[in-house]
A = this chain, B = another copy of it.
């Protein structure tokens, strides 16, 4: 929580102004602001945007720092899940080290807020959670990390997992995770009853991975809606991926989207080019909170990605066929202010009283900044400079 004056910036690509941060909050935006005694950073006429928000990733999974992982994994979901547990054992993967590497790489790209799912299973127990929690402690003030206790290998199919998720929440995880209650666990009622019960016990929210598409995904969404209503958990349950909302059946998806708005269910996307995904335009016009994330990357699941949420805003724009400059701003909003809002942070924007998280980017316009996503000039978290020229100041292990 520091004081900083950023001079000669163009907030959101507008006119040049200074941005004054006091006690980690934006205190003033204007021309020729008072500088006495404050540290000053000159943005050189570049554009200022809010801190980028990665609302869906897996900090414990990346193989950053290792040799390129040659992927020879089979095509089924369970092939990928089983392979990952094996690779983790073979590599002796340290979730703390890996999450430090990924989080600091993301900081270099301008991310100041991350929601990470962390694997909890009966092979490894709570080791990954401990590792990512240690990373969260070490990176406090640099990047805020929110942790979801995530049953990646299934809940009902692997007895003992629910107890571990419960223990993870007691240890300090922020949200309860879930995964494809039909497709993965083959027992949607038990899966959802279990995670909702744990969330209720700890008075915490839920963020559930839902890859199920079409009518199956719609069925799982309805089961989720029923429990939100029954338990009064409006605004507390987010759905990640939600591919079923991208189904071509407009009537089915509109009913689901309207219910997400009614029950305040945030949707978090990674905008994969290969899948039908929730439409940015439709969620926006229905008033559904909407965030985005890089998902896992450079891991045993797949080779793509690098942690850059500015590049992700481009992919989100491409996926949603956004071509106009005003539409590109929507994509950036999902990856900044809107994503933070989906994570219940209301004041993540370049306005008075907003969090002092500022990223100085290259480009004539915000559109160009998104499309070219050149190395970030400066990244500021709560008034502290945390990265310059694409690299975090804190070194990666």
- A contact set with B: CB distance below 8 Å: 67-68, 70-73, 248, 271-275, 301-306, 314-315, 317-321, 323-326, 328, 363-365, 367-368, 370-372
Given A303-B371, A319-B273, A71:B325 Cβ within 8 A: yes
Copy number in the complex reads 2
* B72 lies within 8 A of A324 (CB): yes
Tell me which residues across on chain B come within 8 A of A324, comparing CB atoms: 71-73
Given A73-B323, A304-B318, A323-B301, A365:B68 Cβ within 8 A: yes
Tell me which residues across on chain B come within 8 A of A372, comparing CB atoms: 306
Q: Taking chain A's interface residues, is the majority helix, strand, or loop, or is none over half, making it mixed?
A: loop
* A68 lies within 8 A of B367 (CB): yes
The contact sample of 21 A-B pairs, CB cut-off 8 A, is: A68-B367, A70-B325, A70-B367, A71-B323, A71-B325, A72-B325, A73-B323, A272-B318, A272-B321, A273-B315, A273-B318, A274-B321, A275-B321, A302-B323, A303-B323, A303-B325, A303-B328, A303-B368, A303-B370, A304-B314, A305-B371
Tell me which residues across on chain B come within 8 A of A68, comparing CB atoms: 363-365, 367-368
CB distance from A49 to the nearest CB of B (A): 16
CB distance from A386 to the nearest CB of B (A): 23
CB distance from A187 to the nearest CB of B (A): 27
CB distance from A85 to the nearest CB of B (A): 17
